[in-house]
Amino acid sequence: MMRRGCALAPVMLACCAPPQAAGAPWAGSMELETGLRPPVPGARRDTRASLELGWEGRLGADWRFKLADRFEHFGGNERRSINTVKDAYLSWSGSAESAIDIGRVNLRQGVATGYNPSDYFRARAVRTIVSVDPEKLRRSRSGTYMVQGQRVWDGASLSAVLAPRIGHDEDGTNAVARAMLAGSVRLAPDFQPQALLLLEEGAAPQFGLNLSALLGDAVSVHAEWSGGRQRDLLARALDRPGEAAWRNRLAAGATFTAANGLSLTAEYHWCGAALDGTPWKALAQQPAQYWRYRSFVQREQEPPTREAAFAMLLWPDALRPRLDWSAILKRDLQDSSMLLWSELRWRLDRADIALQWTHLRGRSGAQYAAYGERNSWRLMAQWYW
C-alpha cells in the first residue's frame, strides 16, 4: 500500500545501521573513508577510520543491557582519535507497558528530518561531524547519563527523564542537570501529537510539540516546535549579557513517497535564537567572534542563522537492485549560501561501498561557503558483522 510507503523514510534513513541477526547479541561495523583529493594543494588527503560495536542482551526475565560504542581515527593534516559511548544502560521491564532505563542513553526526540527543535538532549552530544546526513549524526552521537521511565497505554504514552549534572566538563552531555516530561495522546487513527517539557539547571522551562499526519496515500506532513525564554545564541556563545526573551524554533515539512520507493522530504526551518541577515553579515567581519560563534552553535546542534530550507531525496534500488541514491539540499535563507550533497551506495551482503559528492555555494563568510572547498569527492567502504 502507498500509505505504508509514507512511513518508509525513517527505515531508509537507517539503512546503513549494522545488521543484527535474530538472536545474535553482538553487532558491529568498520568504516573506511577517504577524500579523493586534498582539500588544498600540498595538504594531506582527509581520511577517517571508524569501528562501531554493539551488544544487547537479556540478563534475566525482566532485565536487559545495551552497549554501543564508536571509535574513530581521523588522518590528514590534523590527526586525532575520538571514542564515543553512544549507549550503555540497564533496562528493567516489569510488563509490556512499562520500562525503566538507567545509564548512558542516546535519547532522541522529534519528527522532523533536517532540524529537531524538540530534541533537547542533542546539545554537546555530537563529538565529530562525520556526515551531512542528519540521521547518521543522531545515531552516532554520545549518550547522556540519565534515569528514564516509560509507560504506554492504548492510544497514549508518558515518559520522564532525569539527567544529573556530572563533573565540571562544559562540553559533556551532563554539563547541566535536566529533567524532561514527554507525553502523547492519540486523537485520531493517524494523529497522535506529543508534548514535551524541559527543565534545565539555570534556564527557563522549554516547551515542545511534535505533530505528524497522513494526507492521502502518498503524502505525510509534520511539524516540530519548541519555545521558551532564552538569551540569543550569540550572547551565549560569547558569554556576554543578553536579554532573555521568548524564542521560537520550528521545523515543518512534508514527505512524498512514490510507488517505486522514492521518498522526497522538504522542510522549512526557523530558529528565533539565531542571527538574522544584518547581524550575521556584521559578525563575518570579526573572524575571532565569528568562528567562536560557529563552534558554539555546532556543539549545541543549532543553526547559525534564523531561516533555512531543507530537502532530502532517498531512492533505494534507484538505478539497479542494491544501488541506492540519496541527496540532500540545504539553503540558508539569510545569506543565500547552499550545500548540495549526493551519494551512490552499493549494498552488498555484508558490506557497502559509497561515493559521495559535496558542493558548497555562497559568498565569503556565508554559512556553507566559509569552509573553503567548493567541490569535494569522498569514497567510503563499510563492513558489517
The amino acid sitting at 191 is F
What gap in Å lies between CA 191 and CA 267, rounded to an integer?
19
- The answer to whether residue 54 scores a pLDDT higher than 50 is yes
For the ranges 32-36, 41-45, 307-311, the one whose mean pLDDT is highest:
307-311
Cα(first)–Cα(last) distance of the chain, in Å? 32
- Is residue 4 in a domain? no
CATH number at residue 312: 2.40.160.10
% of the chain with per-residue pLDDT over 90: 79
What gap in Å lies between CA 232 and CA 279, rounded to an integer?
12
- The answer to whether residue 167 scores a pLDDT higher than 50 is yes
- The answer to whether residue 16 scores a pLDDT higher than 70 is no
How many Å is the maximal CA-CA distance in the chain?
62
Rounded CA Rg of the chain = 21
pTM equals 0.89
- Is residue 15 in a domain? no
Band (pLDDT 50/70/90 cuts) for residue 148 is very high
pLDDT of residue 129: 87
Q: What is the mean pLDDT of residues 101-109?
A: 96
pLDDT of residue 170: 56
Encode pLDDT of 350-373 as tens digits. 999 999 999 999 988 899 988 767
Band (pLDDT 50/70/90 cuts) for residue 337 is very high
What gap in Å lies between CA 44 and CA 347, rounded to an integer?
29
What gap in Å lies between CA 108 and CA 340, rounded to an integer?
26
pLDDT of residue 365: 84
Band (pLDDT 50/70/90 cuts) for residue 3 is very low
- The answer to whether residue 11 scores a pLDDT higher than 50 is no
Joined together, the cell numbers standing for residue 240 give 556576554
- Is residue 299 in a domain? yes
Q: What is the mean pLDDT of residues 310-321?
A: 95
Band (pLDDT 50/70/90 cuts) for residue 37 is confident
Encode pLDDT of 205-221 as tens digits. 999 999 999 998 899 99
- Is residue 54 in a domain? yes
What gap in Å lies between CA 35 and CA 352, rounded to an integer?
17
pLDDT of residue 17: 42
Distances in Å between the Cα of 42 and the Cα atoms of 38, 77, 303, 359, 376 are 7, 10, 32, 21, 16
What gap in Å lies between CA 318 and CA 313, rounded to an integer?
11
Band (pLDDT 50/70/90 cuts) for residue 60 is confident
- Is residue 329 in a domain? yes
Residue pair 251/114 in contact (Cβ under 8 Å)? The answer is: yes
Q: What does the DSSP 8-state code read for residue 173?
A: T
- Is residue 6 in a domain? no
Encode pLDDT of 294-308 as tens digits. 999 999 999 999 999
pLDDT of residue 169: 61
Q: Domain range spanning residue 115?
A: 45-384
What gap in Å lies between CA 342 and CA 328, rounded to an integer?
6
pLDDT of residue 371: 73
Cα angle value 100/211/188 (rounded, 5°):
90
pLDDT of residue 304: 96
Only one residue has cell 505533530, namely: 211
Residue pair 211/111 in contact (Cβ under 8 Å)? The answer is: yes
Q: What does the DSSP 8-state code read for residue 141?
A: S
- The answer to whether residue 183 scores a pLDDT higher than 70 is yes
Q: Which residues pair with 225 in a beta bridge?
A: 209, 250
| Total domains, the chain | 1
Q: What is the mean pLDDT of residues 143-151?
A: 96
What gap in Å lies between CA 126 and CA 105, rounded to an integer?
13
Distances in Å between the Cα of 278 and the Cα atoms of 283, 334, 335 are 9, 9, 10
- Is residue 161 in a domain? yes
pLDDT of residue 372: 66
Encode pLDDT of 224-258 as tens digits. 999 999 999 999 999 988 889 999 999 999 999 99
- Is residue 201 in a domain? yes
Cα angle value 368/262/128 (rounded, 5°):
35
What gap in Å lies between CA 299 and CA 171, rounded to an integer?
8
From the list 12, 11, 28, 49, the residue with the least C-alpha distance to 380 is 49
What gap in Å lies between CA 118 and CA 108, rounded to an integer?
9
- The answer to whether residue 94 scores a pLDDT higher than 90 is no
